[in-house]
A and B are shown apart, each in its own frame.
Chain A
């Protein structure tokens, strides 16, 4: 293979592989930390739900999730529910995740609620 082609191949691979690795990490984080309340499929039906007086958000609820911006979701994860006028039952995860991980998590949540919009290229802000 010509060197230049090889370089192109590597560049292309980086574009494909890096986001895939990040997505996997976000998926694992979601499974480990969010699932206990938001449920195995993100439908707001986690194992702790019977103990909660506020139902966790259903992340697959397209209609509701489309009313939230990415900034708001980021804030809710990092600073907890009260930061976006929601329940204290959503704790602040700022000490558990880095900002980068929270951004990836927002991306992961978008795949649960808004796949059609992602394909359409909607700007979630």
Chain B
């Protein structure tokens, strides 16, 4: 009897299923027609309001939804006037930026994207009394303070111009405005959705949001009226596939078209596989070891230079990073405009290193401690321990006994960013806006949070200030080259390498250009066989 009851229970389900299928007169959903590009992400977006998030997975989606006032040149961080503004006039004192808004652009909700809309967008970001002020939602992460910290006025001028006025010149302003995190939002949609706008994004970009199923996928549909011309694909589906190996298997099978983030292990697996194209280029990232420049013996530049000569960056990149990194010769990566390729860096030379140590008064070497974190970072695909051990081994050859101290990443940051910190630590950086000041200033300006070397040089700080005050790219490049030379000579870091930036896609996909900021810009140009 009991068995019958259980059996009937388990048999009921398929019977009900069959019955329901047989009796149902509902319509069946059909596969939507047209070309779909499937992009695999490792995590879900956390919000699609560009000024309130900073994580890449959200940025990947938003880069197809929004346009900025200015844009990066494809595949670089050079700024060009191919965004919403057709022209930008900068006053001679570098304090006033006048944006001429391109006529005829509309947001995907039909609202005109004119000078009024741009001023309303600025007001939402800068006016705390605006009812839709961007920072009203708690827990947001924003580049607005970094981008607009010098801005005191914003207003419309004439019929088609939006003006931004600053109290202090900021040469990095246009580069910041080109970031995906500065997408221009529809004022009508902001008004309509208020604090919920991050779930209902509306921009002027080549695609618009159709569906967002949390933790599963985001579907975008082509904006057929896109002002640069209709996109070549009909929709983009961003699928969340957390496991990197699974993303690689899906790409090999052909069920996805693009892997946004690829691990070095999977890159090596996918490289050379038929039907798969692996984009590899120097990323907007640097990795090194911060030396405590204010603490003995590292206050002596000869010791810092000895440590630089004592590490073999070529073998580190070749073996520890499996060829997916390039030895560093300058304190900015080659993908950053202003990079000085003529700087010699510190080629491996243990003899020279020993001599410098002896000259500094340490003929028998010295002891030091290096703080490391356990996991991999975007700028350190080998992970903290592997890099630490390789450097430890190299420095042993010049008489330096380096002991390693590993801390969980949060504790590592807390320890190494304190003012009292006086040891060596791993240091790295991924560029945000593709401006030289975002590398040189963020990492080595006196008394900044991330300057874990506690480097302080008046000459260098003055150059940084000059760089921000200059209004032409040409002038700024010249200034930042001088700054790189100062940093190279002062050696506040052991300069290790530039990480390789990678993206994998099916060979059926064409026109995919990998921007150094990793965002999916120019998706209107991408096509699929």
Binding partners A and B: no
- Which A positions have Cβ atoms within 8 angstroms of B? none
Q: Which residues of B contact A (CB under 8 A)?
A: none
